[in-house]
Structure 1
Amino acid sequence: MRTLFAVVLLIFSGLFLSCSDKNEYVVEAELSNLSDQPLYVIHDRFRAGMTLDTIRPVNNFFQFKGSSEALTRVNILNPDRTLLLRLYLQNGDRVKITGDVEVPGEIKISGSNTNEELGKFRNENSVVLGRITEVEKKYALDKDLSAYYSDITRLRDSLYYPVKKYVTENTSSPVSALLIYEYLLDDVNFKRCDSLFKSIDPDGKPTNIQALVELFLENVKKTEIGKRLPYFAFKSDKDSMLYTSSFIGKPTLVTCWTADDNASIHEILSQRDIFRKTDKKKLNMVSFSLDPDSIGWKRQIKADSLNWRHLRIPEGWNDRWVKQIGITRIPYTLVLDKTGTIVARNLYGKELEDYILKMLADTEKKEKNK
């Protein structure tokens, strides 16, 4: 009787584990040179939001679980919050990771064809990806956004042809969509990304990744060079009204930022030099804050003597106008000519200053020659 009970228990346990596997994903890792400090796992579930797990490796081993019916991005972070490894998982996946944390380009992944293919791509392009990691670490402290995006764009350019080759040879694989989303998607090369993404078979595009890529591309196209800024009417920090129509007649620099973001503050302080070097009668400058807290925003404006026009959008990212212009990053800059047409976007620091000064000089020269 006890034997029969034991057999039934084992069968029931097996069925339970089988059902459990179908309702979750499981990751087991055995990585040498793990410190005894905690690692962090971010489960970025589409529409369901992000969750953060803290895990403590024991003897170079750790395990974590999660649940998502759709393919979801999972970031494993080092103790200093830099990226160690990125996976794409959904319920039913059981993944094993082996390797050395000091040689992330050679970490092996098994148990999931999607992640095995992504891991193979990472290993084959480990030199470029290693440089991208170095750039991200460098600029985490140095907020020179112009140099950062220049370096990142150059490195992403070198990944374009390996990604294109994979996509061309694997148009029905979900890995093709993931590689574009992971390594190419930005507002500089969006046209190439759009064309490459359209070449993938519809069945090869995971629903959530397709939604994210298409949303990004749609947002980028809203402020393409040559378009007009959508109409707005907002209150300034001094409670006066400001309208889009007030920009017509002279070039305008528009910046979206937040006072609690270090990169935003660095850029706004850089723009203070532009304000001091330019004739106020020849250039409009207006900054839109997405800060929910007006106190910190006003304190920042006063403390740093940011004496151009500032507006706060209390609804932040949820504001209708913010969605209309399709902001993809913070800080976000747009340069308009005197007709209100967008002529440049997402320039920063010295690059932005040089562009503005040249634009004003060219405008003045044209007016003199009329």
Structure 2
Amino acid sequence: MRKIIVMLAVATVFASCQEDKGYFISGSVPDMENGKMVYVSEIDENTNRPKRIDSTTLEDGEFELDLEDPETPNLSFLEFEGLQGNVIYIAENEKINFKVYKDSLRTSEVNGGKENRLLYDYLGHLKNVNEEVTKGRSEMQSAFQEQDSTKLATLQETETEIIDNDKVYKKKIVKENPDSFVSIMVISDMLRMKSYPANEIKEMFDGLSEEVKNTAIGKQIAQNLEKENKVAVGSKAPNFTAPTPDGDELSLKEAMGKVTVIDFWAAWCKPCRVENPNLVRTYNKYKDDGLSVIGVSLDRPGQKDRWIQAIEEDGLPWHQVSNLKFWQDPVAQLYRIQAIPAAFVLDEKGTIVARDLRGDDLDNKIGELLNKG
């Protein structure tokens, strides 16, 4: 009898182990040959790039894999031998099922786990926003060609409303899901798209759970936010030193005025060249009242002549510096520059009081700071 009881106990434990699969994936890929490999990848914490962690094969168009339970959720991908692209999902200690469409991996269905439900709600929202904005801009182009100013204005208002609603939706996800991995993905998108000021994004980030903040993406965001906040409105502008066209060294501190504009531009940048006459007018208007401008050029290595020629052609009378390192310019990287033209407005103490203003908006802000409004 004792032997039978022991055997029953062992059987019960074995059955329990079989049922508690934790992180378990399965799925179907109709019309795909037997024996094709299915690869599982996840974002590597050290490289921040996908790394394959396991694999299985297709049998009768289906696959399944019992994986090691992740300590924290992680962005993961399914890849299939012979197919381009992948299926995105979040690894969590749940049973996750996939219905994969080999001719359109992006439309594959993922079911299982609260993280994946929220992820695919979010991805669906992004898809709808992109479709609406793309359609609206196509209609704007037609309205512009037809010179229909009323329709163009209406379409612009509609796009603004779509973008505003998108911001509200993203902020709601983060606020309502502080312990969700999806929230850190949303914040990452906000930071990349610069859709919110860095201080607001930091406030949202600080409201997340420690577990989420300690993920690989969370740690990267924390580092990026620290860098962004150094050049956010209200922060003291970081000092820098760079070569002038004459080969001398000039620092921001040396170029400061009562109001200072740091203007990031380049000879090859058409929007910058279009904006230059506006900044020239503003400079000539306020230079005697204490306005100083320092141009930081992102021109390419070996193209110093083009940089100097552009300064002469556009009649730029202010300080100019450049390391001639294109997007790798250390000053541009210090100020987190991802697009040009870009401008930072500093007060007399070197505090950043405004950024990314152009034309009349920049002129009015400088006039306000110099009490000339």
User: Does the aligned pair in 2 maintain the 1:87–1:115 contact within 8 Å?
Assistant: no
Match of 2:350 in 1: 340
Match of 2:121 in 1: 120
Shift of 1:336: 1.5
Could you give the per-residue CA deviations for residues 236-279 of structure 1, whole angstroms, max 9, x where no partner exists? 22334423333344211111223333333333343233234333
TM-score, length-scaled by structure 2: 0.59
Q: Is residue 16 of structure 2 the alignment partner of residue 17 of structure 1?
A: no
Q: How does 1:211-222 map to 2 (within 5 A)?
A: 211-222=219-230
- Give the percent of matched residue pairs that are identical in Structure 1 and Structure 2: 23
Could you give the per-residue CA deviations for residues 278-336 of structure 1, whole angstroms, max 9, x where no partner exists? 33562111110122232332232222222322211234554554444443543321111
Structure 1 alignment gaps of length 5 or more: 1-12, 26-44, 50-69, 74-84, 101-106, 143-149, 366-370
SS in 2 for 1:216: helix
Q: CA 1:348/1:115 → structure 2, altered by over 3 Å: closer, same or farther?
A: farther
Distance in 2 between residues matched to 1:117 and 1:244, nearest whole Å: 46
RMSD of aligned residue pairs (Cα, Å): 4.6
Match of 2:313 in 1: 303
Match of 1:174 in 2: 181
Distance in 2 between residues matched to 1:157 and 1:213, nearest whole Å: 23
Q: CA 1:117/1:350 → structure 2, altered by over 3 Å: closer, same or farther?
A: same
Partner letter of residue 340 of structure 1?
G
User: Does the aligned pair in 2 maintain the 1:230–1:321 contact within 8 Å?
Assistant: no
For this pair of structures, how many residues does the alignment match? 284
Q: Which has the larger radius of gyration?
A: 2
Match of 2:367 in 1: 357
User: Does the aligned pair in 2 maintain the 1:232–1:321 contact within 8 Å?
Assistant: yes
Partner letter of residue 17 of structure 1?
K
Q: CA 1:94/1:307 → structure 2, altered by over 3 Å: closer, same or farther?
A: farther
Partner letter of residue 39 of structure 2?
D
Q: CA 1:312/1:248 → structure 2, altered by over 3 Å: closer, same or farther?
A: closer
User: Does the aligned pair in 1 maintain the 2:179–2:208 contact within 8 Å?
Assistant: yes
Shift of 1:89: 6.6
TM-score, length-scaled by structure 1: 0.59
Distance in 2 between residues matched to 1:212 and 1:336, nearest whole Å: 28
Shift of 1:47: 5.5
Could you give the per-residue CA deviations for residues 130-162 of structure 1, whole angstroms, max 9, x where no partner exists? 5554688879xx9xxxxxxx9998755433432
Q: Is residue 272 of structure 2 the alignment partner of residue 264 of structure 1?
A: yes
Q: How does 1:80-229 map to 2 (within 5 A)?
A: 88=88, 96=100, 108-111=107-110, 117-124=118-125, 129-130=130-131, 132-133=133-134, 156-183=163-190, 186=194, 188-204=196-212, 207-229=215-237
Partner letter of residue 309 of structure 1?
H
Distance in 2 between residues matched to 1:346 and 1:93, nearest whole Å: 46
Could you give the per-residue CA deviations for residues 314-367 of structure 1, whole angstroms, max 9, x where no partner exists? 34554554444443543321111223332212212321122123333x0x69xx
Distance in 2 between residues matched to 1:98 and 1:123, nearest whole Å: 20
Shift of 1:110: 1.6
Match of 2:3 in 1: none
Partner letter of residue 268 of structure 1?
N
Distance in 1 between residues matched to 2:270 and 2:243, nearest whole Å: 25
Partner letter of residue 109 of structure 2?
S
Structure 2 alignment gaps of length 5 or more: 1-32, 51-73, 78-84, 145-156
Partner letter of residue 264 of structure 1?
C
SS in 1 for 2:39: helix
Match of 2:21 in 1: none
SS in 2 for 1:272: helix
Could you give the per-residue CA deviations for residues 186-241 of structure 1, whole angstroms, max 9, x where no partner exists? 27432232222233334446945324433432222112334332333333223344
**1:313 alignment partner, one of 315, 323, 329:** 323
SS in 2 for 1:278: helix
